[in-house]
């Protein structure tokens, strides 16, 4: 299951739910958090507060883990599309060598390159559609002739131009349209020479052979499925000595350095991860995850590996990612309260008692400060993470949930004063509630989603967890969101001191429904349907609740001055609807009911009202707010004495998006162009 919670509806993040045709701008003193703006994206810097308070060993650990996080950058590019490295390296060669850096064509080329960096490839990070270059093919061929020669040519010019300019070729990184072979129709680089039917048969046979195993392997997680010259289907495993070995060897090098300064518990964890990277054995990965999830005491923590399977239309393959972080001690108090009450939340969940966990184990939740983002978590990142993904580990050993406070803080700072709330929230009482309680509601929703939502519930006997196929991600995110929304409106949160009043929940309900049913449409191109799992999840919940609450006018559309607004008239009844939908969503997951899942998603989560869509885009355009945000990473420098001993690690905050990516391309690019 996919257990990341993407930035979607935080009051401080409202800019992410709106769209515009942004203006290219320089960083100003009035916008110190925004370091670049282009297309539908703003790039933000994030700070690492309290880093100076870490011990020297902890600072060194952060430094080494941060280096490991940067070393896998090429992997995610290659996973997203087999020609991404060829395109990126060619574009970078032209960009750095170009002698003429003015004019509309060059500016369009520069924007295209910035988008490729942001998306880790030539397909949009959210819509999965291939970028349309705004520079001409003729101009581009002139640049190839001027700056690309036999030494730096990655792929033949004609093929490169087809890849970039032919809209019909590799048009979608992730195509899950009804009735298509989602494997061959998707440009992602997880399969080659095989069909959807063959993939499902290949891993179906593995699962059948593993029937009854209480510790089932996540088959296919760390490999590319291919066909050899004799026609045999095989897995090209991502490991030292296998596919992606040059980058993984560098990751392992820095992990070994990290192990030298880690505490004994984390040393064992890091060594287990290294063992897995060297063997490629998924049993070693599970062993690492069991050790990792049990460590709730270490101040510094990390994620590094092939983790989430959003990018695979069939949900087998996982993208490479890395996050380095340390505990936000003060903010952790709220997640500690949640973890202490985890059994109560499970016992009182509005789901079939047969699908509740009888004993909630190992719930570890904390608020963290991110120190480095890498792979599929960079430049765009989630604001919360719940891992590991294996259901049997979650059931037997628990899960570890984090909310990323300094990232939400940076989003909040970058979004202040953007005019979004005034444009889309009709009632003054709702705006005031959002201003007062919006940030707290956002934080608690994320905490509940990650800490308890993903870790709640259990499968029925005999259900493996892969029955929902292409719809599994959408349903899992909906399940965790519904859990969080339902409990936000429970007096229990007031009783245990997490919220002062249920107005915190009502502020979140206002924001969530508005986003799910309306404002998130700004992220979609006209004529397109909703494809991204988190967007589908939010639309499913909002549309279902609107329809089921019509008789009682729970949610209402109001037109004022020619503009549409969505208004909640009964927050208590809306909470009841959240509970009813959670009951059904949990049943679908627990029973592996594919047909019911498909019907729910296709009915409520996919189709777009073109008139509403056009209105949302027009109103957003007037605000000039980018719908997507991402980050530049901080930099860490070792300080040594005359004898070469490390005496400190200092952090700095670069504010140049282009220079950071060019530097990453020079210093952290280890893979061959084709793998």
| Span 609-666, pLDDT tens digits | 999 999 999 998 888 888 889 999 999 999 999 999 999 999 999 999 999 999 999 9
Q: CA 76, CA 165: separation in Å to the nearest integer?
A: 22
**Arithmetic mean of pLDDT over the chain:** 92
The answer to whether the bond into 64 is cis (omega within 30° of 0) is: no
Q: What is the pLDDT of residue 29?
A: 37
The pLDDT tens digits for 148-194 are 999 999 999 999 999 999 999 999 999 988 889 999 999 999 999 99
Q: Is the pTM of this model over 0.85?
A: no
Does residue 561 surpass a pLDDT of 70?
Answer: yes
Adjacent-strand bridge partners of 401: 365, 386
Give me the pLDDT at residue 257, please.
Answer: 98
Residue 176 has a pLDDT of: 86
Q: Specify whether the CB–CB gap between 490 and 556 falls below 8 A.
A: no
- Listed in sequence order, the residues at least 6 apart from 495 whose beta carbon sits closer than 8 Å to its beta carbon are none
pLDDT at site 16? 32
| pLDDT tens digit sequence for 39-91 | 989 999 999 999 999 999 999 999 999 999 999 999 999 999 999 999 999 99
Average pLDDT over residues 114-123: 98
Report whether 218 contacts 235 (CB < 8 A). Answer: no
pLDDT at 17 over 70: no
What is the predicted pLDDT for the residue at 195? 97
Gap between the terminal Cα atoms of the chain: 27
DSSP 429-449: HHHHHHHHHHHHHHHHHHHII
Residue 463 pLDDT > 50, yes or no? yes
Q: Are strands 363-375 and 319-327 parallel, antiparallel or unpaired?
A: antiparallel
Mean pLDDT across 517-528: 90
Pairing of strands 382-387, 4-6: antiparallel
Q: pLDDT value at position 414? A: 82
Q: Are 528 and 613 in contact (CB under 8 A)?
A: no
Q: What percent of the chain is predicted at pLDDT more than 90?
A: 78
C-alpha triplet 539, 542, 543: angle, nearest 5° = 80
Per-residue model confidence (pLDDT) at position 18: 32
Q: Around 386, how many Cα atoms within 13 Å sit in the side-chain half-sphere?
A: 32
C-alpha span between 415 and 451 (Å, rounded): 26
Alpha helices in 563-609 (DSSP H): 571-591, 594-604
233: β partners: 227
Closest of 631, 60, 89 to residue 374, by C-alpha: 631
d(CA 336, CA 595): 38
Q: Tokens in use for 282? A: 């998924």
Predicted confidence (pLDDT) per residue in 336-386, tens digit: 898 899 999 999 999 999 999 999 876 777 889 999 999 999 999 988 888
Mean pLDDT confidence for 479-502: 96
pLDDT in tens, 234-260: 999 999 999 999 999 999 999 999 999
All structural domains of the chain with their residue ranges: 4-50+328-631, 83-160
Q: Which two tokens stand for residue 254?
A: 């820095």
pLDDT, residue 25, reads: 36
């Amino acid at each position: 299951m996919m257990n990341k919670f993407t930035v979607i509806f935080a009051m401080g993040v409202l800019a992410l739910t709106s769209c515009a045709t942004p203006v290219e701008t320089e960083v100003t003193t009035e916008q110190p958090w925004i370091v670049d703006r282009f297309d539908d994206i703003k790039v933000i810097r994030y700070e690492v507060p309290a880093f100076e308070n870490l011990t020297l060993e902890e600072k060194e650990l952060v430094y080494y883990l941060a280096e490991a996080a940067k070393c896998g950058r090429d992997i995610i590019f290659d996973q997203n599309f087999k020609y991404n490295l060829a395109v990126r390296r060619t574009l970078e060669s032209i960009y750095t060598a170009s002698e003429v850096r003015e004019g509309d064509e060059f500016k369009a080329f520069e924007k295209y390159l910035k988008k490729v960096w942001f998306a880790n490839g030539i397909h949009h990070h959210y819509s999965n559609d291939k970028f349309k270059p705004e520079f001409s093919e003729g101009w581009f061929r002139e640049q190839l002739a001027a700056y690309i020669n036999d030494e730096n040519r990655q792929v033949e010019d004609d093929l490169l131009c087809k890849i970039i300019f032919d809209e019909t070729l590799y048009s979608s990184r992730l195509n899950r349209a009804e009735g298509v072979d989602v494997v061959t129709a998707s440009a992602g680089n997880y399969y080659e020479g095989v069909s959807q039917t063959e993939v499902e048969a290949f891993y179906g046979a593995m699962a059948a052979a593993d029937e009854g195993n209480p510790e089932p392997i996540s088959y296919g997680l760390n490999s590319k499925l291919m066909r050899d010259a004799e026609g045999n289907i095989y897995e090209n495993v991502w490991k030292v000595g296998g596919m992606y070995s040059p980058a993984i060897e560098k990751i392992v090098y820095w992990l070994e350095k990290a192990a030298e300064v880690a505490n004994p518990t984390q040393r064992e964890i890091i060594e287990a991860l290294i063992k897995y990277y060297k063997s490629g054995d998924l049993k070693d990965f599970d062993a690492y995850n069991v050790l990792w999830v049990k460590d709730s005491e270490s101040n510094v923590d990390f994620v590094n590996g092939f983790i989430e399977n959003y990018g695979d239309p069939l949900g087998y393959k996982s993208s490479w990612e890395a996050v380095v972080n340390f505990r936000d001690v003060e903010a952790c108090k709220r997640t500690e309260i949640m973890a202490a009450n985890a059994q109560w939340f499970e016992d009182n969940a509005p789901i079939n008692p047969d699908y509740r966990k009888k004993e909630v184990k190992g719930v570890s939740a904390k608020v963290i400060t991110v120190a480095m983002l890498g792979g599929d978590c960079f430049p765009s990142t989630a604001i919360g993470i719940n891992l590991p993904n294996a259901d049997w580990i979650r059931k037997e050993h628990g899960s570890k949930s984090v909310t990323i406070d300094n990232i939400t803080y940076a989003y909040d700072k970058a979004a202040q004063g953007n005019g979004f709330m005034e444009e889309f929230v009709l009632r003054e009482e709702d705006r005031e509630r959002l201003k007062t309680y919006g940030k707290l509601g956002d934080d608690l929703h994320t905490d509940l989603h990650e800490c308890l939502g993903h870790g709640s519930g259990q499968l029925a006997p005999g259900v493996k967890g892969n029955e929902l196929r292409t719809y599994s991600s959408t349903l899992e995110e909906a399940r965790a969101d519904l859990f969080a929304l339902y409990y936000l409106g429970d007096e229990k949160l007031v009783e245990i001191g997490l919220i002062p009043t249920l107005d915190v929940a009502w502020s979140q309900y206002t924001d969530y429904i508005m986003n799910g049913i309306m404002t998130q449409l700004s992220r979609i191109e006209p004529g397109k349907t909703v494809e991204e799992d988190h967007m589908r999840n939010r639309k499913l919940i909002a549309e279902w609740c609107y329809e089921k609450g019509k008789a009682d006018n729970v949610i209402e559309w109001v037109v004022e001055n020619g503009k549409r607004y969505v208004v909640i008239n009964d927050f208590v009844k809306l909470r009841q609807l959240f509970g009813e939908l959670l009951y059904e969503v949990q049943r679908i997951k627990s029973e592996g009911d594919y047909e019911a899942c498909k019907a729910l998603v296709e009915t409520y989560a996919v189709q777009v009202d073109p008139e509403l869509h056009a209105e949302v885009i027009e109103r957003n355009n007037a605000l000039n707010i980018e719908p997507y945000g991402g980050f530049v990473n901080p930099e860490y420098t070792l300080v040594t004495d005359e004898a070469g001993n490390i005496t400190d690690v200092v952090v700095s905050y670069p504010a140049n998006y282009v220079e950071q990516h060019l530097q990453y391309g020079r210093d952290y690019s280890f893979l061959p162009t084709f793998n």
